[in-house]
Amino acid sequence: MRYILVDIPDRENFYPFTLTRSLADCRVGIFTFKERWEQFLKESTSVYTVNYLQVLYPNIDFLSNADSIYFINITAIPNAALIDQISALKEGEKLVSEKGKWIATKTSERAIPKILLAEFPPINFAGVTFIDDAIHLLKLQKDFILNDFALSVLNKTSQVLDGTNKLINPSQIFIEEGASISCSNLNASEGPIYIGKDAVIMEGVSIRGPFVLGKNAVVKMNTSIYGSTSIGPNCLVGGEIKNSIIMGSSNKGHEGYLGDSIIGFWCNLGAGTCNSNIKNTAGPIQMWNESKQLWETIGQKMGMLVGDYTRFAIHSSINTGSYIGVCANIFGNGLLPKNIPNFTWGVTPGYRIEEIFEDINNWKKLKGIIISEEEKQVLTYLHKQAV
pLDDT digits (tens, 9 = 90+) for 75-111: 999 999 999 999 999 988 899 999 989 999 998 887 7
pTM for the model: 0.95
Q: State residue 114's pLDDT score.
A: 77
Q: What residue spans of the chain are helical by DSSP H?
A: 33-41, 51-54, 80-87, 112-117, 134-153, 353-365, 373-386
Question: Comparing C-alpha atoms, which of 350, 348, 349, 347 is closest to residue 333?
Answer: 347
**Which residues 6+ apart lie within 8 Å of 1 measured at CB?**
44, 45, 46, 59, 60, 61, 62, 65, 69
Long-range contacts of 338-342 (CB under 8 A, 24+ apart): 338/286, 338/287, 338/288, 339/288, 341/386, 342/16, 342/19, 342/307, 342/382, 342/383, 342/386
CA distance 322 to 349: 16
**Which residues 6+ apart lie within 8 Å of 355 measured at CB?**
none
63-72, 91-100, 147-156, 236-245: least confidently modelled range: 63-72
Q: State residue 238's pLDDT score.
A: 98
Report, as an integer, the average pLDDT of 225-241.
Answer: 97
